[in-house]
Structure 1
């Protein structure tokens, strides 16, 4: 692919071109020139949009589709199109399919099915067989087939010894174990954050303690094994404090937060909208402020859309019967741009690859083009017209977001929105 990107402002804190408006020439998928003006002497395809900005390709550490098994929620093909239209060049794909991804054969299926796409798919394998939390899955074989880590998506593992052994074993194959932190016995049958709002609405609460006690346990296991661990989608201020203290002690721990747990809070549950039922639950505004501060300070390592398509039949029901999950790829940039401004938003959207052993691209001459194309200006109300996913279960519907994604350049391909 040969492409000339015209009049683009580069957003990359690590590049000498940061903040400059330039033309970018891409030849056979490689950035061959970056100048204030480049003549199109070879009559290459040109890309020119209003207020065009360019950054390194965006990365999301927690994305779910449906295939295999839940194709009615989202196929791999449409999911990857959604990711590209939303500005993402790299995604970590969760193993919560049917059957779950827990063998080398399953990893090979994902890799074969997503090969030759503009979006790079980095699959996770289930940490335990069938994600039942009883026996470890074939970690070494999955690693050899291309798994970048292991995770029983949204399932806390009750057996602490199993987590200990998993962390120890992961060191032999140099890969990352991810563990969801929620004590299921404490969470019980709760459906919302335990607070004044849940009491007022008559909803069974999930106390913050359910997360915090598990975070503490998982930190201790990491310290004991001298291994490394990733805690996806934490949601409480105390969990952040524990992780910060662990890092100060030199424990190799990392964490992410879902964008909806930064942007939305439990006061919205008065609508009893099933799209707002997520795991971990939406918490208080004060808690959100603490999480936002932790993101700015770097105590939280990365943000994620935690994109999780769910059938309409499982969302258009009474709140307490709705399944957990919201899609989030399409709203990720707009929400972060509203919260932090586009410079910080882009920094957040390009962080996290190295933790999973994925090389971070560069925006320099001679580099393979891995770029996201966008306009950071322009507020709008997010609605179903902004959704590319087959499932429409977005917690962001009706909320004001900011900025437009134009597409991506990756793997020698240009994918652009209409």
Structure 2
């Protein structure tokens, strides 16, 4: 494959061409030339798009595809094609399959199904067998077959001793433990954030305390054991402060935030739209502002779509009966591009998550692999169902005004535009 990108603004702090407009020549999967102007003397295929910007390929650290077991929600094939068209050259796929990915055979199956695509797939293994918080899963075997971290998706580890053992054990092979931040003894069967809006709407609430108690517990354990801990999709102001203090102590802790927690609040609940039923729940404006500050200050390491396709039978039902989850690959960039500085947003989709999960990155320089996301940061549009590429349509940003169009990716010697 030979491609010539014309007049591309490069957004890559690791590149000597950062914030410069250049032509970029790509041959056989590598960047071979970057210059002010590259003449097309050999009838090379040109990519000449409106207000073209390029960055290192984006990495989403929390994606669900369903397969195996829930192919009606999403297959690996369509999921990876959706990710590519949404700007992601790599995704980390959660272990909430059927059977649960708590053994090397399931990890191997998922990896084998992902070969040959432009977007790379990195599987997570379950931390406990069957998500039961009783026994540690086959962590070392799963790591040897490609699992990059271990966690029970949306399932808190209720057994504190099990978390202690996991953090100690994974140090033997430099493993990364993930812990979903919710204490179910506090959250119980709550549906939404416990605040004024939950009371007005008559919906049982999940207090911010449920998240903060679990994070505080895990940080105490981490301080005792050492090891590496990742806390996915935090949602409250106090959670940001807890992690900030832990980092000041030198603890090896990272965290992510979901795009919808940066852009939306629990005021969205008034229409009882089940697409707004997510976990952790949408919080208050105060929490949203603290999360945005946490991203800008570097306390929050990465941003995820927390993409979780749910079929219509389990989503388009009465609010209390709907499953938690929203899709988000297609809308992430447009939803946040006005809220965050574009450079900050891209840093949280590239350099930072790749460092935490030990994923190789390629700077935009001559001689480097072409692992690129192509986008226009200034195109406004309304996110309609026509823009949804996923099999399931449970989009929290449906009919919202977004800003920032993704053109596609160039990765693994393939272009998806």
Shorter-normalised TM range:
over 0.9
Quote the residue 1:79 is aligned against: 79
Alignment gaps of 5+ in structure 2: none
Report the CA distance between 1:403 and its aligned residue: 1.1
Tell me, in whole angstroms, the C-alpha distance in 2 between the residues paired with 1:55 and 1:116: 22
1:74 positional shift? 0.3
Q: Give RMSD over aligned pairs.
A: 0.9
1:50-69 alignment, distance < 5 Å: 50-69=50-69
Equivalences for residues 86-97 of structure 1 within 5 A? 86-97=86-97
Query: Aligned partners of 2:39, 2:311: CA distance in 1, in Å?
Result: 49
1:13-162 equivalences in 2 (<5 Å): 13-162=13-162
String of CA shifts for 1:202-247, please: whole Å, max 9, x gaps.
0001000000000000001111101110000011111111111111
In structure 2, what is the equivalent of residue 280 of structure 1? 280
Cα deviation 1:1-53 (Å, max 9, x = unaligned): 21111111111122221121111001110100000111122322211111111
Residue aligned with 2:348, SS: helix
- Whether contact under 8 Å (1:255, 1:302) holds in the other structure is yes
The aligned counterpart of 1:399 is 400
What is the TM-score when the length of structure 1 is the normalising length? 0.98
1:7 and 1:135 map into 2 onto residues whose CA distance is 55
User: Contact between 1:24 and 1:34, CA under 8 Å: does it hold in 2?
Assistant: yes
**Equivalent residues in 2 for 1:336-355, closer than 5 Å:** 336-350=336-350, 351-355=352-356
Shift in Å at residue 317 of structure 1?
1.1
Instruction: Report the CA distance between 1:84 and its aligned residue.
Output: 0.3
Cα distance in 1 for residues equivalent to 2:386 and 2:341: 24
| 3-state SS in 1 of match to 2:67 | coil
Paired with 1:255 and 1:167, the residues of 2 have a C-alpha distance of 16
Equivalent residue number for residue 180 of structure 2: 180
Counterpart of 2:375 in structure 1 is 374
Any conservation in 2 of the 1:175–1:356 contact (CA below 8 Å)?
Answer: no
Deviations along 1:328-362, one digit per CA (max 9) or x if unpaired, are 00001001102113232222221311111112221
Q: Look up the SS of the partner of 1:216 in the other structure.
A: helix
Shift of 1:66: 0.8
Tell me, yes or no, if the aligned pair for 2:11 and 2:18 is still in contact at 8 Å.
Answer: yes
SS at match of 1:257: strand
Per-residue deviation, 1:388: 0.4
Return the alpha-carbon distance in structure 1 between the equivalents of residues 11 and 250 of structure 2: 32
How far the C-alpha of 1:313 sits from its partner, in A, is 1.2
- The answer to whether structure 1 residue 308 and structure 2 residue 308 are counterparts is yes
The Cα of 1:395 is off from its aligned counterpart by: 0.4
TM-score by length of 2: 0.98
Alpha-carbon distance in structure 1 between the residues aligned to 2:123 and 2:169:
19
- Please list the CA deviations of residues 67-124 of structure 1 after superposition, one character each: whole Å capped at 9, or x if unmatched: 1000000000000010000000011111111111111111111111101211011110
Deviations 1:265-288 (A, max 9, x none): 101100000000000000011110
- 1:247 equivalent in structure 2: 247
Task: Tell me the distance in 1 between the aligned counterparts of 2:342 and 2:262.
Answer: 16
Deviations 1:241-274 (CA, angstroms, capped at 9, x unpaired): 1111111111111110111011011011000000
Q: Report the Cα offset of residue 185 of structure 1.
A: 1.1
Most deviating of 353-362 and 319-328: 353-362
SS of the equivalent of 1:325 reads: coil
Q: CA deviation digits over 1:367-407, x for unaligned, max 9?
A: 00000001111211111111100000010012111011111
Count of residue correspondences: 416
8 Å CA contact 1:84–1:119 kept in 2: the answer is yes
Tell me what 2:363 maps to. 362
- Distance in 2, matches of 1:25 and 1:249, equals 45
For residues 130 and 190 of structure 1, what CA distance do their matches in structure 2 show?
23
3-state SS, counterpart of residue 254 of structure 1: strand
